[in-house]
Structure 1
Amino acid sequence: MAYSRRTTALVVVIAAYVLSFFHRFAPAGIATELAAAFHTSAASLGTLAATYFYVYTLMQLPTGILADTVGPRRIIVAGGFVAAAGSLLFALAPSLEVALAGRTLTGLGVSVTFIAMLKLFALWYDERRFASLVGLGMFVGNLGSVLAGTPLTALAQLTGWRGVFVATALASLAIAVLCWRLIEPEQPGTLKRFDRTVILGGLATILRNRATWPAVLANFGIAGSFFAFAGLWATPYLMSVHGLTKLQASHHLSLYFLAFAVGCLAIGSLSDRLARRKAVLIPAAAVYLACWGVCLFAGPLPERLTFPLFALMGLATSSFSLTWACAKEVNPSALSGMSTALTNMGGFLGGALLQPLAGALIDHAWNGTVVDGVRIYAPEHFTAAIACLAGAAALGFLGACLVRETRARNQWQNPA
């Protein structure tokens, strides 16, 4: 593929990733609207938001296998059409059950995007640029999460949250068509033959490799707590614990996402330049854990402190973007789709488990106050949930300490 065509194709693929990030964090920006529309509790709202993560988690290994066999082009196009259907169904949902179905379809559709993008990076570029490219992809992709903050809140007030998701359905369709036209079919020999024995053998190789699992644990703890918090509970937490308005909370959320995006770009480039993974990953994971300590023990803070706290937290959260390189570089190069998918599965499993768990803990502490059909939570109702997310961050830090240093090179050696 010509360089200019390849670049254009990657721009479109990253645009699909922007949409996946938007869908991932959109419930946080419209949490109160969703609670009012479906008359739901915190636990049910957590389940609605986490449905995306359930299907995303289950799809990671199948996506990795498909990326290594049928290729990224087909799966990303199919995913775009499914995501469009899910977004439209969510927008038109008359009940919580239909909204759950729409959210599930959306998660299914966008679940293939990131792994397909990583596979394209592995096929088209030198391995020494992998972490930098992942950081760049996440930097641009995080525009979707930034859009899920203040812009979504403002747009939802103008058009209603349903109109926003009709627009995202149309955008998904357009991106799918562009991907089909711009990404050329894979050349013969670049992908493994779809053979069950070969696939199962490759998967077993990755699963048996002890060096794979620390990266999965780090992704589970850091990304999982990030998805659970920023994906739903950050806005209610800021409004209740720190006394912010909804608009002020959305500004914090947008700042968090922007700092995270910048961090992804910087941390990947720094790691590649130093040819080190652990020396960058461990300090950043430690800062992330420390930020959770502040959230847990500091109590109500003024905006002059919550803004820099969320900015620092966003920068430190980006540490998990190195975990895909850590997993890829200790496994066979031909299995990069499966190894990165397994690592990605850790973070989304964390989000799937922690998002409703946090909601259940908040509900358990709730004192029964309801205003206009919406449950009202006091600051102390969030304590157990924040402690749970801080514990997950501690697991992420432990995983970061256990990863193998690869010096930005593939270290795989067949034990046989």
Structure 2
Amino acid sequence: MTDTRPSSRAYAMWAVGLLAYVVAIFQRASLGVAGVEAQERFSAGASAVSLFLVLQLAVYAGLQVPVGIALDRFGSRRMILAGALTMSVGQLVLALATDVPTAVVARVLVGAGDAMTFISVLRLVSLWFPGRTVPVVTQLTGIIGQLGQIAAAYPLVRLLHSAGWQPTFLGAAAMGVLAAVLVLAALHDAPPGAVPAPAAGMAQVRRNLVDTWREPGTRIGLFTHLVTQFSGTVFALLWGYPFLTTGQGLSAGVAATLLSLLVVVGMGFAPLLGRLVSRWPLRRSNLVFGILGLTAATWTVVLAWPGRAPLWLLVLLVVVLATNGPGSMIGFDFARTENPVERSGSASGVVNVGGFIASLLTVLAIGFVLDLMTPGSSTAYSLDAFRAAFAVQYVFWAIGLVGVLTHRRQLRARLARDGVVLAPLAVAARARLRGGSAYEVSRQG
């Protein structure tokens, strides 16, 4: 595709893929909002129900690289279709389950299907849209997909309370089937006339994976995703609500409002960040450092505040955490621009591992510290326990920062060998204001 305005058909293909992703997020979040009902149905404690989430995240993260390899071989349409059907089977099993082991199998299936969806939609975007518009559309994909979480939080909960467990999750399974039918009927992998990449044999697959990992753009993408995503994800997915209510003493209504604010602010911030990435494609790491610094600094103030933090500070924390999801999308842009299209799936899969592994380990570490500092099996965690628990984030911020700095240096060295030398940021900014190139580079040779 040439770098022109996207076609109406490109938007239509994106809409189909986006709908499948919204449904995937809905399926992912469906059990989280039914935690109390799950404990009653399966006669399980909170630790057993939390195991569902941990396993689901572990399966999602563990399948990213295999799914990426399969995506490069089979294309987005087949992978999104397989993901929707796999999640439907998982929700069907969950609807009929009456014991914990069966429910665990169900959530493993949901995690596996979920793993096939997002990076497949990203590949669809990169093939259908002009290069300059891809960062913006990628940001919109990630944030609009969160509508699925809102659908799980409100309509699904109402249906669960009115109709019961089995009809609710049978309905969730039916949503996945409907998404699969739409994908089968309307979705195409690439624009007309695009030459599909030849199917690679296993030897070529292994070479592609090695080349993908050797590319410093892939590795900086992985650490970008890791360092920007995990704090907001952990807060929204599990530990934010108890931190706000039990730790900070907010009412359930105020805490729920703050978590909703996180989604809304993220939806507003994502297009802006996409435009900045598009306008300054060789300065993406500066945006990463800004988001990391702002997140770590705000958490430091909250955790160091004597006593409970004031509401304005908690609102500020939520607003800052809302930048984390859009910030993690920069990792996929590194992978897209520094890898050929035939490796885009495996590159996106490698990147997507970073944030979810960090999120999973942070969820477990926070839970371990809270239990360590709380007597018996009580869940009445103190504010000091929460402070110690959330301090584990500094470990992952440090790991991510070192990773981004290391691989940025390697990427810039590779670009210099290719004849692309970055001017100092102040010089590039002045040139851009005078109408110069958005790439702020000097080409040698």
Q: Secondary structure at the match of 2:199?
A: coil
Identity value in percent = 27
Contact 1:145 1:257 in 2 (8 A): no
Q: Given the superposition, is the C-alpha separation of residues 156 and 293 from structure 1 closer, same or farther in structure 2, using an over 3 Å criterion?
A: farther
Could you tell me whether the CA contact under 8 Å between 2:230 and 2:356 is conserved in 1?
yes
Deviation at 1:225, TM superposition (A): 3.4
Q: Deviations over 1:223-270 (max 9, x none)?
A: 233333321121122111111233332222111122223222221122
Of 144, 151, 155, 2:148 maps to: 144
Match of 2:284 in 1: 277
Q: Counterpart of 1:267? A: 273
Match among 310, 313, 323 for residue 315 of structure 1: 323
Whole-Å Cα distance in 2 between the matches of residues 382 and 209 of structure 1? Answer: 39
Q: Provide the rounded CA distance (Å) in 2 between the counterparts of 1:377 and 1:150.
A: 28
What is the 5 A alignment of 1:4-15? 4-15=8-19
**Is the partner of 1:404 in helix, strand or coil?**
helix
1:166 aligns with 2:170: yes
Q: Per the alignment, do residues 161 and 233 of structure 1 end up closer, same or farther by CA in structure 2, a change over 3 Å counting?
A: farther
Q: Does 1:287 align with 2:294?
A: yes
Residue type at the aligned position of 2:298: C
Q: Which of 1 and 2 has greater Rg?
A: 2
Q: If the length of structure 2 is used for normalisation, what is the TM-score? A: 0.81
Residue matched to 1:115: 119
Q: Which runs of 5+ in 1 are unaligned?
A: none
Structure 2 Cα separation of the partners of residues 155 and 296 of structure 1: 38
Structure 1 residues 76-95: aligned runs within 5 Å: 76-95=80-99
Say whether the 8 Å CA contact 1:293–1:390 is kept in structure 2: no
1:234 paired with 2:245, answer no
CA drift of 1:211 comes to 4.0
Q: Is the 8 A contact 2:302 2:313 kept in 1?
A: no
Q: Report the more deviating stretch, 8-17 or 393-402.
A: 393-402
By relative contact order (CA 8 Å, sep 6+), the higher-ranking structure is: 1
Which stretch of structure 1 is more off in the superposition, 379-388 or 154-163? 154-163
Whether 2:233 is the aligned partner of 1:207: answer: no
Whole-Å separation in 1 of the counterparts to 2:216 and 2:8: 40
Pair 1:21-2:25 in alignment: yes
Once the two structures are superposed, what CA deviation does each residue of 1:124-155 show, in whole Å capped at 9, x if it has no partner? 12222221111111121122234455666666
Q: Distance in 2 between matches of 1:150 and 1:287?
A: 31
Distance 1:330 1:143 in 2: 30
**Structure 2: runs of 5 or more not aligned:** 419-445
Q: CA deviation at 1:75?
A: 0.9
CA contact (8 A) 1:218 1:320 kept: yes
Match of 1:59 among 39, 59, 63: 63
Separation (CA, whole Å) in 2 of partners of 1:161 and 1:301:
38
Runs of 4+ in 1 over 6 A off after TM superposition: 410-413
Quickly say closer, same or farther: Cα 1:32–1:360, change in 2 above 3 A.
farther
Match of residue 368 from structure 2? 360
| Counterpart in the other structure of 2:388 | 384
| Structural mapping, 1:121-136, within 5 Å | 121-136=125-140
Name the CA shift for 1:220/1:208 in 2 (closer, same or farther; >3 Å): same
Q: Which moved more, 1:71-80 or 1:50-59?
A: 50-59
**Which secondary structure does the structure 2 equivalent of 1:345 belong to?**
helix
8 Å contact from structure 1 (residues 77, 179) kept in 2: yes
C-alpha deviations, 1:324-348, integer Å up to 9, x for none?
1112222333311111110011122
C-alpha contact 2:224 2:331 (8 A) present in aligned 1? yes
Provide the rounded CA distance (Å) in 2 between the counterparts of 1:64 and 1:150. Answer: 32
Q: Is the Cα contact below 8 Å between 1:146 and 1:255 reproduced in 2?
A: no
- For 2:363, the aligned partner's letter is Q
TM-fit CA distance, 1:122: 1.7
AA of the residue aligned to 2:391: A
TM-score by length of 1: 0.87
Count of residues in Structure 1 that have an aligned counterpart in Structure 2 = 408
Query: What is the Cα deviation at residue 193 of structure 1?
Result: 1.2
Amino acid across the alignment from 1:19: V
